[in-house]
Structure 1
Amino acid sequence: MPTSATQVFPVYLYDYFARGYELVTGHPADSFEYVRGETLLSTNRESFAIMMAYFVVIFGGQVVMKNFKPIRANFLFQLHNFVLTVISGGLLLLFLEQIVPIVREHGVFYSVCNSGAWTQPLELLYYLNYLTKYYELIDTVFLVLRKKKLEFLHYYHHSLTMLLCFTQLNGRTAVSYVPITLNLAVHVLMYYYYWRASCGVKIWWKKYLTLFQITQFIIDLGFVYFCTYTYFATAYYPHLPNMGTCTGTETAALFGCGLLSSYLLLFIQFFFKTYTKKPVAGQAAPAKKTA
């Protein structure tokens, strides 16, 4: 239980979460421990099997749906997006409640690099966030049922984000909270957008949601590149300027850097492809409005 000086919100949300967790699982929240090979979905075999099943379902589903009319499933689609809006918002608040006191008391560097910042409550939240990535795969199933085009960015991002959370959980990278909290903030807005749009509400800020996603990856990369650099500099090139070692495995660090870099490039490409319209051949581009 936090003190009044470290409490982030008027009430300690984690207490309510812990009661709900025990009610659902039958185990106290403070007894959770992520154990590779024992905890559900904690092995390479499980994660890769589900990823392969995901690709079989979506691409096989496209073949099957060629013989059928689109299935809108509006109510289920709305419910799915509403549930993910609530889950993302709840997890975001729980993460902030745990992270903010650590940053206040020890500073940003400690929070992203010290093993002490990998607490038991955060480990449980990291694990639950990882599980949501499996549920989010249903996003693509709705696209298949509706006979929408599957963009490479969509299934690449959905499938590999699941693996990203898996590797960081196994690697115990303290900096994980940065991309996770930013991603949860994006998902609150994104799933709210899809929920309201599916209800027939016109929302004008979709373009800015993509810009938010791009900004998210820029911030993510600033943190993960820094943490990876200072770790490798300390471990292998101590003559280089560094701030000391950083907790987490080398595999997790390198995978995170590589994947987040690819996300940034793909989202920038998507933004220009979607929101930068080229004039039709033989037609002059319309004049831009000026103030």
Structure 2
Amino acid sequence: MEYITPITQMIDNFTWDSNTPLSSWVFPASTSVTYLVVVFLLKQFMKNRKPMSLKGVSIIHNFNLILLSFAMMAGVLEAAYRQALEEGPFSLICERTPFAVQGRIGFWIYVFYLSKYYELFDTVLLALKKKPLIFLHVFHHMAMVPITWQWLNDQWLVGSWWCTFVNSFIHTIMYYYYLQTSLGNDCWFKKYITTAQIVQFLTGTAMVGYWFTIRNKENCQGGLAPAIVSFTVNSVFILLFIKFYINSYKKGPAASRPKKE
């Protein structure tokens, strides 16, 4: 007989509803606005000050995100595998129920949503270090909190589980890179992280595009609004990341660091 731990039971029985912490639209909306205000204020605050080192904080922050990203990657992949065995692989690309983002797979998508709040601290560190805050960085961080909330609120599975998996996979490597640079070490693969980010958005856009073509025919139950928003934002990210890649790696020997998503 399989022993069910309280944690396993909590994950398996996860439910997204009005009682779930940070489930109200007020949280992602206010966070995105507050984030932009804080970015502006930090830039003004640091304008005539010397950059802060924050080496210890950066090491802890990047190490935390390596562990968190790996846990989300492994967790959602295992949950998707279980669902494929129980409900068939097609259930991962076409929601068979209007409550598809629940249970084990919903739990890891929810953790991914929560992680986007924590990742906003990336910008705080960059601002205090007086590192460049490019539009791509700020826009990405600002957008991901309401987007991931919408996945859960509208119970849209196809794009949400895949993005949780592939984004967490890339972030595991990316934050390892940032950990190494925080420690003063150099890494040879920074160019390939940006390439992987572009591939991530291309695969996500392709999956959502396919979902659009089968949605009515197969009666997929996921919400239409998050699919439209994610497809649109993904398309913008593809253009922005390609532009970043060209500017960073094709215009001279001094390549920029890979963008922190």
Structure 2 unmatched ranges of 5 or more: 254-261
Q: TM-score under structure 1 normalisation?
A: 0.80
Distance 1:107 1:221 in 2: 22
Distance 2:6 2:147 in 1: 25
Distance 1:218 1:168 in 2: 19
Matched, 1:146 2:129: yes
User: CA distance change for structure 1 residues 103 and 206 in 2, over 3 Å: closer, same or farther?
Assistant: same
User: CA distance change for structure 1 residues 145 and 99 in 2, over 3 Å: closer, same or farther?
Assistant: same
* Residue 122 of structure 1: aligned partner: 105
Deviations for 1:150-179, whole angstroms, at most 9, x for unmatched residues?
Answer: 100001111111121111111111212111
Structure 1 unmatched ranges of 5 or more: 3-11, 23-27, 235-241, 280-291
Larger of the two Rg values belongs to structure: 1
* Residue 229 of structure 2: aligned partner: 255
Q: TM-score under structure 2 normalisation?
A: 0.89
Deviations for 1:72-131, whole angstroms, at most 9, x for unmatched residues?
Answer: 110001100000000110111111111113234544322221335544112222111100
Asked whether the 8 Å contact 1:47–1:163 carries over to 2, the reply is yes
* Residue 173 of structure 1: aligned partner: 156
Greater relative CO, 1 or 2 (CA 8 Å, sep 6+): 2
Match of 1:84, SS state, is helix
Query: Segments of 4+ in structure 1 off by > 3 A?
Result: 28-32, 104-108, 115-119
Match for residue 33 of structure 1 among 5, 8, 15:
15
* Residue 7 of structure 2: aligned partner: 18
Match of 1:40, SS state, is coil
Amino acid at match of 1:131: L
* Residue 55 of structure 1: aligned partner: 36
* Residue 23 of structure 2: aligned partner: 42
Distance 2:198 2:121 in 1: 23
Asked whether the 8 Å contact 1:228–1:254 carries over to 2, the reply is no
Point out the more displaced range, 144-153 or 66-75: 66-75
Match of 1:113, SS state, is coil
How well do the aligned residues superpose, as a CA RMSD in angstroms? 2.2
- After TM superposition, list the pairs within 5 Å mapping 1:1-291 onto structure 2: 18=7, 28-36=10-18, 38-104=19-85, 106-115=87-96, 118-175=101-158, 176-231=160-215, 234=216, 242=217, 244-277=218-251
- Percent of aligned pairs with the same amino acid: 34
